Structure 1
Amino acid sequence: MDEPEFDTFFRTTMPMLLGYLIKSSWNLEQAKDAATEAMIDAYKQWDTIEHPKAWVYKVAARHLHRIRGRERDHDHADVVQTDPADPDGVAALDLGEEHRRVMAALRSLPPNQRKVFALHYDGWKHTEIADHLGMTEGTVRSHLRHARENLKRRLDADTATRDEE
């Protein structure tokens, strides 16, 4: 195991992974849990992973689906309650107002547009996104185009509303 290589991977990838999971509409606590579990799995299997970034993103998504399944099956009486005004825990990240507006607009996108845009924003190439999400490159480009149009429309409407106030 090359621990310095894994350490560098962890330090550069973990913030991007958390950002992607949050942009993909998971709340902060779920994102932290899934990202941590994925990184632990990556550490254990480091020498066998060929494409670590894609691998850890995929494993984190699987952990999130398991978390969501457990929450559905769980008695919600003892589940930690979130702030109704900030159900995704974004305020805890101490982001600027503009960033919060963009995050809210991202959460309003359809799931595939949101995932494609989040990965593109994190610097993934169309081929990497297509492979990761099981889509064609044409579908990725289409989702990205629609996401941009939807985000522009939503942010323009939000700006117009704020200007009227």
Structure 2
Amino acid sequence: MATVEFNQLLVNNAEFLKPFAITLTRDSEAAKDLFQETLFRALANKDKYNVGTNIKAWLYTIMRNIFINNYRRKAKQNTIFDSTPNEFLLNSAQMAVPGTVESNLRVKDIQAAIHKLPEIFRNPFLLYFDGFKYHEIAEMLQEPLGTIKSRIHFARKLLKNQIQRF
């Protein structure tokens, strides 16, 4: 297909992309950018267009892919970096609010529930809670890895049921 024919086909079928761009972005300025990027990519990749195929579907696919790629790129860039000095944290202990009696009782209830667990579940759970990895716990207790994982899982379930009673 000649360049002139492709350009004419593109111009004749480009208007339907605008509402689709607005639907995707929900912002008129971002929709204009998406529309323009779609047409640019279509022109840049005209050799990949197969003559006789549905040009609207081809353009829709280009637009959708651009939108998805931009969305993923923005999600990755959405990390917030705090570059402010943290000197105010030096005296943060003075501003800390002491725990209430209720929260102290809750911690004691949780500790009591942990110590009420059967020893077979309590030991792997406490080691996991202290920061050991599953494979380290398995080596320490000389048990298979799957056994350790299931015991920690059951310990969590038992704790959840006991704590919900309080």
Q: Same fold (TM over 0.5)?
A: no
TM-score (norm 1): 0.38
Report 1 or 2 for greater relative contact order, CA contacts < 8 Å, sequence distance ≥ 6.
Answer: 1
The structure number with the bigger radius of gyration is: 2
TM-score (norm 2): 0.38
